[in-house]
């Protein structure tokens, strides 16, 4: 695999994600492959992965990148806040986000998409970049669609 260019290739990347998870019913396996695919196919990322909800904590799931925080309380940091609000958070500068949890000091911007199945948050997809303002609207929309593909397989 190789890095593809930005916006015009998101349709192709989405088709590749669909093919990657098409025949696999296990959500952990699909999350693992999706995390790896995004990490290797989208430029300027230093971490991609999932946190899964267990009681009041988001617990580290499949990911690519350096070792990460293993537990994040709901409502804490970007991931916990996105889960609590049930909304996508696209943070241009993590150092300006009150309560940011610095798992990797190289991270400058972060995109977190809640994974919602049957109206309940079951986790989040977390994507970090060492570049401020990394996540434009086109990339955000692409990542939402990626998470939607996983949710459709789950439901």
- CA angle 144/73/66 to nearest 5° reads 65
Which pTM value belongs to this model? 0.92
Contacts with 121 (C-beta within 8 Å, 6 or more apart), sequence order: 53, 83, 86, 114, 115
| Tens-digit pLDDT profile for residues 124-137 | 999 999 999 999 99
Alpha-carbon distance of 23 to 106, in angstroms, equals 36
The confidence score (pLDDT) of residue 155 equals 64
Length of the chain: 155
Alpha-carbon distance of 68 to 52, in angstroms, equals 14
- CA angle 73/35/88 to nearest 5° reads 50
Q: Which residues are bridge partners to 125 per DSSP?
A: 50, 113
Show me where the domains of the chain are located: 7-154
- CATH number belonging to domain 7-154: 3.30.450.40
Alpha-carbon distance of 65 to 83, in angstroms, equals 21
The confidence score (pLDDT) of residue 103 equals 74
In this prediction, the residues of the chain whose per-residue pLDDT falls under 50 are 1-2, 4-7
């Amino acid at each position: 695999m190789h890095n593809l260019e930005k916006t015009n290739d998101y349709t192709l990347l989405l088709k590749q994600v669909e093919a990657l998870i098409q025949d696999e019913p296990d959500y952990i396996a699909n999350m693992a492959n999706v995390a790896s695919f995004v990490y290797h196919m989208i430029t300027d990322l230093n971490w991609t992965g999932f946190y899964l909800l267990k009681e009041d904590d988001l617990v580290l799931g499949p990911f690519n990148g350096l070792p990460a925080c293993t537990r994040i309380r709901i409502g804490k940091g970007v991931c916990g806040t996105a889960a609590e609000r049930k909304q996508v958070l696209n943070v241009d500068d993590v150092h300006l986000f009150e309560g940011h949890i610095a798992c990797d000091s190289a991270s400058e911007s972060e995109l977190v998409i809640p994974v919602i199945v049957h109206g309940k948050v079951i986790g989040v997809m977390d994507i970090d970049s060492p570049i401020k303002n990394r996540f434009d609207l086109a990339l955000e929309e692409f990542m939402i669609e990626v998470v939607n593909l996983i949710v459709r397989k789950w439901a």
